[in-house]
Amino acid sequence: MSPSAALQSPIFRSYLWFLLSVLICAGIVLTIAHFVLRRDTGLVWSTYRSWLVMAPLAAAAVFAGRIPFICGLTAIAILAFREFARVSGLTHDWWTVGVIYTGIIATGLYSLGVFSEATALVPLVTFGLILLGPILRNQTRDAVRRMSLGIIGFLYLGWMFGQLGSLANSANAYGYLCYLLLATELNDVAAFTFGKLFGRHPLRSAISPRKTWEGALGALAFSVALPWVLRFSFPYFGPWQLLLTGLIVGVGGQLGDLSLSVIKRDLGAKDMGASIPGHGGILDRIDSLIFTAPLFMLMALHYYPER
């Protein structure tokens, strides 16, 4: 991955045109809904305007190359964990927070190949140091809660989300990254759209009251069909791999969203932050990638280890 390679990649160029088309079409639909159909689209417009900023930034990160992309990914993970620590009350636990920040940076260094032979070492050392914290401080009060939150925070944001960095190292980095980033976000949009249009039956009312079975199944159907539409991303994928790709995004994306909702409900928070208008915080925006990134990486590595 490099700027020159991106300019020469037909896959990257195709995704730029596809992304531009999606943004333009979405803007036209929202304009018609607001001015012609007189629908209340205030919140959706706010979300759309945020996408007009986030989508070019994501494309620029992929265009910049492997090292800038992985460094940017690491920075996003750190900012997302900062939100997580603030909402969960971990902010004042300097040991756990420091260990997790170090673990996230170590994951980024692993993706950069600094210590590529230590695949399992980063999570093992990070978890071990988190568990060691109460012993070193000779404290037991609230220890289980803080250790559990720390392990969840690193597992989600350091290791699982960080597997996007491993995809950046693949020979087909543009196909994998562009597809996964776009498809995961479109899966969210599809779930919202199908839920708004046809939603009647709550999916998990105690976890996320607005999510419906109709929205979830509609998004799943959309995500299963999308790999065939964007097959140029991975022309060597067979029908089975294309189906798995759709299921990983359609199911994994919604699991990531629901798993974060479980944490937010338990902590009594609506959003993890407010840095992105219409979306909440950074963690609220990347939660769907928590499951799709490692699952897709494992699938691609299993079937196509040389790609």
Global pTM exceeds 0.85: yes
Task: Count CB atoms within 10 A of the CB of residue 255.
Answer: 16
168/70 Cα distance (integer angstroms): 8
Mean pLDDT of the chain: 88
User: Would the pLDDT of 77 be above 90?
Assistant: yes
Residue 2: its pLDDT value, please?
Answer: 83
Domain ranges of the chain: 65-169
- Give, in order, the Cα–Cα distances in Å from 173 to each of 24, 63, 157, 180: 26, 11, 21, 10
Confidence of residue 177 (pLDDT cuts 50, 70, 90): very high
Confidence of residue 265 (pLDDT cuts 50, 70, 90): confident
How far is Cα of residue 9 from the mean position of the Cα atoms in its chain?
24
17 with 32: CB under 8 angstroms? Answer: no
Q: Enter the tokens of residue 236.
A: 């060597």
Using a pLDDT cut of 90, give the percent of the chain over it. 46
Confidence of residue 131 (pLDDT cuts 50, 70, 90): very high
Residue 277: its pLDDT value, please?
Answer: 65
Summarised one tens digit per residue, pLDDT across range 59-71 is 999 999 999 999 9
Summarised one tens digit per residue, pLDDT across range 195-208 is 888 878 888 888 88
